[in-house]
Structure 1
Amino acid sequence: MAKLPTAVGPYATYRHAGDFIFVSGQLPVDGETGNFPSDQMTDQAKQVMENIQLVLTECEANFDQIVKTTCFLSDIQNFATFNEIYGRYFGTTLPARSAFEVSKLPKGALVEVEFVIYKG
């Protein structure tokens, strides 16, 4: 079974607040190795989405219960590639979303995604 990466700082991976679960940004870190799968956006985007799946499993939730995502990209030119991989993980119930280019991400990642789960 895949392992959820540990937080890279003094914060919780997720926090319950009533019917909501707020999830910290997920980096493309493989929980087994502590490394990125590669320096390619396709691989990093897949790893981020797999890490999101691990959080959902741990929280006994699914992608349909994600109500909001915030996506951070180190280069907006990777938006189409990221978007294609991201879209594979959601069914017909899509979350609200925003996406931004940022100057840098922790550990030199190309992508990070934070999200909110609603379990009401």
Structure 2
Amino acid sequence: MTSPERQPITAGDAPAAVGPYSHAVKSGGFLFLSGQTPLDPATGKLVEGDIGEHTRQCLRNLTAVCEAAGASLSNAVRCGIYVTDISTFGDVNAAYAEYFPENPPARSTIGVASLPVGAQVEIDAIVAL
């Protein structure tokens, strides 16, 4: 049974979860979003394109999860970005800036050895409700 202070969110317009987790959880005035990889929700496959397009798809998926929860990614207070090649930092930044042109959230970017489904980038977020 779920506590009224903890409401799991499933987004029909985001890729299906690839493990035992919720797309997001509402709690304490925040929405905690699980990491999104650049999967196309319609096909379940990684999108074509460069790291910039992969970053945009992660952010589109996060937007879909926010919308399912009645929230907006523009109210993000923190994002975490995970990349398998830190040399792509500039291209990831450029695509990310399209979503947060003013007053961007706090953020960290971390280079990792690998990500689920062979992704090159994954992004998670915390959004104020």
State the TM-score, normalizing by the size of structure 2.
Answer: 0.86
- 1:64 Cα offset (Å): 2.8
What letter is aligned with 1:105? L
**Structure 1 unaligned spans of 5+:** none
How big is the alpha-carbon RMSD for the aligned residues of Structure 1 and Structure 2?
1.4
* Aligned residue-pair number: 118
Return the structure number with greater relative CO, CA threshold 8 A, min gap 6.
1
Q: Report the structure number with the largest CA radius of gyration.
A: 2
Cα distance in 2 between the residues matched to 1:83 and 1:92: 14
1:1-120 paired onto structure 2 within 5 Å: 3-38=13-48, 40-119=50-129
**Structure 2 unaligned spans of 5+:** 1-11
Q: Percent identity?
A: 33
State the TM-score, normalizing by the size of structure 1.
Answer: 0.92
Structure 2 CA distance for partners of 1:21 and 1:50, relative to 1, 3 Å: same
4+ long deviations beyond 2 Å: none
Say which is worse superposed, 35-44 or 86-95, in terms of deviation: 35-44
Cα distance in 2 between the residues matched to 1:52 and 1:9: 17
- 1:43 Cα offset (Å): 2.1
